[in-house]
Amino acid sequence: MSSTSQAMLNQSLFEEQEMPTQMGFFPFASNLNFAPLGNQSLKAFPSSLAAADVPSTINLTETLLSSAAAAGNLKQTTCDNLGGGAQLLSLQRSSANLWAWGGDVNECLSNKRTVDDHHLGVAAMKMKKIKSRRKVREPRFCFKTMSDIDVLDDGYKWRKYGQKVVKNTQHPRSYYRCTQDNCRVKKRVERLAEDPRMVITTYEGRHVHSPSHDQEDSSQASSHLNNFFW
C-alpha cells in the first residue's frame, strides 16, 4: 500500500469519527496507526501518544494482546522507522493479529448508511430489511487471524444463521448473529482463498450489552473491548 492510500485511509477514518452516520471503521480505528503489510493488508498498531490520551484504545490493545498471549506465540516489537518507536502488534502463527484488510477497507469506505435505524419501529424495520437487505449496513470492523480455528472466542455468544460458498474460494463463508435479544451484531467468518491458514473475521454493528463469557480473564478483557466499540 502506498503512502498516499494510507493517508487517504487515515483521512477517511478521521472523517468517520466526525460523521458517524457514514460507513467505515469503528471510531477507535482513528486512534490506531497503520503500516503497510503486503499488497492488500494493513497492520494496525496504537499510536503511543493517542494511546496515552485515549484509555479505551489501550484497552483494545491489551485485549488483543492478552488474547493473543493466551493463544501463544505473541511477539511484540517496536518499529522506529514508523516514528516515535511506535508499538507494533506483531503476532505469529495461531495468534490474533489485528489488522485491517485491504479489500474490506475499500468496501467499508465505499458504503454509506442512508437511513437512521433508531427511529424505525419493528414492523418498519422488517419492511426495510426486506426491501434493502444489503443497502443499509452497520459499521464494520474486520481483521485477519492466522489460526486453525474458524470462530475466535471474543466473549460473545453467536448463532450461525447461514453458510455460503462465495465465488473464487474453496472455503464457505459462515454468517453469525449475536444471540442476545435486541442485539443486531453480525459477523462473517471465512478463510482467505490465497492462504487458507488465514481466517477473515468481519464484525458488523455494535453490541448493546456486555460479553456473556464465563471465563473471568476473557470476560474482563472483552469488557474492555465492549466499553468503547461494541
Q: Does 114 bind DNA (CB under 7 A)?
A: no
83 CB neighbour count, 10 Å cutoff: 10
Per rule CB under 7 A, is residue 179 in the interface with DNA? Answer: yes
Q: How far is CA 100 from the centre of its chain?
A: 7
| CB of 206 closer than 8 Å to CB of 229 | yes
Q: How far is the CB of 118 from DNA (least distance, A)?
A: 18
Residue 129 in the binding site for DNA (CB under 7 A): yes
- 131: contact with DNA by CB under 7 A: yes
Select 43 or 207, whichever has its Cβ closest to DNA. 207
| In the complex, minimum distance from the CB of residue 107 to DNA, in angstroms, rounded to a whole number | 8
Supply the minimum distance, in Å, between the C-beta of residue 124 and DNA. Answer: 14
| Number of residues engaging DNA in binding (CB under 7 A) | 24
The label of the residue with cell 493517508 reads 7
Grid coordinates representing 173 are 463463508
Contact positions with DNA (CB under 7 A) in 209-228 = none
Convert residues 61-80 into a mask of x (bound to DNA by CB under 7 A) and - (unbound).
--------------------
Contact flags string 137-176 toward DNA, x per CB under 7 A: --------------------xxxxxxxx-xxx----xxx-
By the criterion CB under 7 A, which residues form the site for DNA?
129-135, 157-164, 166-168, 173-175, 179, 186, 188
